[in-house]
Amino acid sequence: MAAAASDMEHVTVLLREAVKSLVTTPDGIYVDGTFGRGGHSRAILAQLSSTGRLVAIDRDPDAVRSAAGASDLAGDPRFSIEHTSFAHMASALAVHGIDRVHGVLLDLGVSSPQIDDPARGFSFRFDGPLDMRMDPTRGESAAEFLARAEERHIAEVIRDYGEERFALQVAKALVARRQSGRPVRTTGELSEVVAGAVRTREAGQNPATRTFQALRIFVNAELEELEQALSAALELLAPGGRLVVVSFHSLEDRIVKTFIARESRSEFDRRAPFAAPKAHRLKAIARVKPGEPEARANPRARSAVMRVAERTTEPFVAGAAA
């Protein structure tokens, strides 16, 4: 995700650290799974040789149009972009005849142009249509979901994806408003309903924060897509290739942490106790948080966590001598 023009400028979090961790060879092939407005892509290209290659992916058509309209990217033969979800990166790369890469970068944050555009419906700071889809051309909007879902389902979404302790109260209020003939259709209306249902909130946090997060994650199937993307990246990485993931809330980071930990363990077949263990496929390299200067300058950086793992080249047995 990247710097955008005018009043929708996006400051890329952990930019230098992510690119340094990702690019291990300037002649390699890399994937930017979340192009945004091109901050990471431009920084990666700056590290590549004339024979290096970068394939960017984004499911937001605005991001793809941004790349197509950028002369520095559109004119670079090392760069290409595909309009799809990062969960489908294997098929996106197959279009270019690529089945192995040297690095995959996933920046899971919502970009500032998305948040700051009222028409996208991501933020309670602006009144606009309650959409929240990363790709507005596909799927069900948040308003459409709330207009048809049962109270129990709404409560589960808000509780599980937003970790909102007043999820049931919010769901009841939303359904009651819908039954009165006034279903929520805008971000302002949703904020108003949540404010009336959430009795207390942490100092400095808008009462609607967790509900907005939950609906966005659910509408875009973000956690499911992340799990698919991690598996796809692992299959694509060449030995020594890097997986770099920047997450911005605990649900995402938990999935990334668990995936890396699971793929970093050797597996023993209990049915054949004397057989050699199945080698682990990843090695955890680093966990990085933004420094205080970056967190102070960019509030959105405060919750960021970057995890780095490397595709292993040799079988590894836990406890073996180094």
Q: Break the chain into its structural domains and give their ranges.
A: 6-112+222-311, 135-219
**How large a percentage of the chain has pLDDT more than 70?**
89
Tens of pLDDT, residue by residue over 234-279, are: 999 999 999 999 999 999 999 999 999 999 986 555 565 655 556 7
**How large a percentage of the chain has pLDDT more than 90?**
79
Distances (CA, A) of 75 to 68, 71, 79: 9, 6, 8
**What φ, ψ does residue 169 adopt, rounded to 5°?**
-65, -40
pLDDT at 132 over 70: yes
Nearest to 241 by CA among 273, 285, 199, 198: 285
Mean pLDDT, residues 80-97: 97
pLDDT at 2 over 90: no
More confident call, 297 vs 187: 187
**How much is the pLDDT for 273?**
60
- Tokens (6 digits) for 119: 């028409």
Please state which of the four CATH numbers 3.10.450.50, 1.10.150.170, 3.40.50.2000, 3.30.450.20 is assigned to the domain occupying 135-219: 1.10.150.170
Point out which residues pair with 82 in neighbouring strands: 57
**How much is the pLDDT for 268?**
52
pLDDT at 10 over 80: no
**How much is the pLDDT for 9?**
57
More confident call, 278 vs 290: 290
Mean pLDDT, residues 4-21: 74
Residue 280 carries which DSSP code?
A: P
pLDDT at 7 over 80: no
Q: Among 11-15, 144-148, 202-206, 293-297, which stretch is predicted with the lowest mean pLDDT?
A: 202-206
**How much is the pLDDT for 170?**
98
**How much is the pLDDT for 154?**
98
Mean pLDDT, residues 276-283: 77
Q: What residues contact residue 80 under an 8 Å CB cut-off, 6+ apart? A: 54, 55, 56, 96
Element (H, E) at 256: helix 250-263
Mean pLDDT, residues 45-63: 97
d(CA 99, CA 83): 18
**How much is the pLDDT for 8?**
45
pLDDT at 142 over 50: yes
- Tokens (6 digits) for 252: 């995402």
pLDDT at 319 over 80: no
Query: 6-112+222-311 with 135-219: one CATH topology?
Result: no
Tens of pLDDT, residue by residue over 171-187, are: 999 999 999 999 999 99
Cβ(60)–Cβ(135) below 8 Å: yes
d(CA 12, CA 301): 9
Q: What residues contact residue 188 under an 8 Å CB cut-off, 6+ apart? A: 124, 127
6-112+222-311: CATH class: alpha beta
pLDDT at 3 over 80: no
Tens of pLDDT, residue by residue over 200-234, are: 777 778 999 999 999 999 999 999 999 999 999 99
Name the average pLDDT for the chain: 90
pLDDT at 166 over 90: yes
